[in-house]
Amino acid sequence: MRRQKAAAANGKSGPEPEPPPADGDADLLTLVAAGLSVRAFEAHDSQAPVWRISGNTLVHKALLRDAGGVWNSFEKAWEFAGADPTALLARKLAEQPAPAGHNSGAPAAAERPHYWGHRQRVRDRAMTAGVESFQDYELLELLLFYGIDFKDVKPDAKQLLARFGTLGDVLSAEPERLREASDKVNQRTIVLFRTVRELGLRLARREVIDRPVIGSWQKLLDYCHAALQHEKTEQFRILFLDRKNVLIADEVQQRGTVDHTPVYPREVVRRALELNASALILVHNHPSGDPTPSRADIEMTREVKTAAGALGIEVHDHLVIGRKAHASFRSLGLL
């Protein structure tokens, strides 16, 4: 209103034009036009503010790095310590030649890498059509998106599967072997793989724990395969059942080498008494992949059965888990 009155006093009609933005505002608008946003926060280990630049940072990666920024992969932002970097970045952006035919901040078509936009297309497909139709390498590639920034990871997904064989083998591989297979694999990727594998195991365990094993035998087998088929050394587990054959506990009793696990019948029976278990299912894996019981497996099972039977505890079965199959002592007539 005051501006309108001043304009009328000068013989002009309409509101007075807004003044041009201050330098700081102009710099901020330059960043916004480039698809970047800036915000400050207090660092825990310093009184000086830290500035985070986020948004369309991939296009301006070199500029942000050359300006002194450090990539924070957790926050998905470039960080600058000390002074507000807005003016510096605005000046560097202004010095850059604009891509022909573009004002979006994206590189011209001729400058784009072959995988430009691929990650977003895969994510969009996952959201609209689901991941059920994804091939194994596509599922693995989708995981790698969240572990490896700014790179084409489709070749790495295929390379990891070719090296290890299956998705389960990749998720279970040792960190050193993963890094040998792909130099892009980092700590974040390894943590992501381990988390996904553990989530799968816990979901499978929920399908069998606190339920009668008689009515969920296939789910029990699926869980045992998920837990053991990718292990690189032998592992001896015991499934403890109550009087109604409900699974009350699943515990790793011993870990061994690639072809041997020491099992002590006295320890097996002692733990069963502690849990007030009425029956057991013994489970162990053969890292070689062949689930055929060995002579040592048969003798150990007989010893455990004898020790448990003396105290009224039944051994329902002994399962040997291989890579793609399993062996049941009861089905084989060995119990």
Predicted TM-score (pTM) of this structure: 0.61
Instruction: Please provide the CATH number assigned to the domain covering 210-328.
Output: 3.40.140.10
- Ranges under pLDDT 70 in the chain: 1-24, 43-47, 97-116, 256-261
Nearest alpha carbon to residue 79 among 102, 46, 123, 126: 46
Q: How many helices (H) and strands (E) does the chain have?
A: 13, 9
Q: Widest CA span of the chain, in angstroms? A: 112
Nearest alpha carbon to residue 308 among 332, 280, 335: 280
Res 304: pLDDT: 94
Distance from C-alpha of 101 to C-alpha of 110, rounded to nearest angstrom = 11
Res 197: pLDDT: 92
Res 98: pLDDT: 55
Res 298: pLDDT: 93
Whole-number Cα distances in Å, 132 to 112, 156, 176, 201, 205: 30, 21, 30, 19, 22
Distance from C-alpha of 328 to C-alpha of 272, rounded to nearest angstrom = 21
Can you give the residue ranges of every domain in the chain? 23-102, 118-202, 210-328
φ and ψ at residue 70, rounded to 5 degrees: -125, 130
Nearest alpha carbon to residue 255 among 231, 279, 239, 282: 231
Distance from C-alpha of 223 to C-alpha of 229, rounded to nearest angstrom = 10
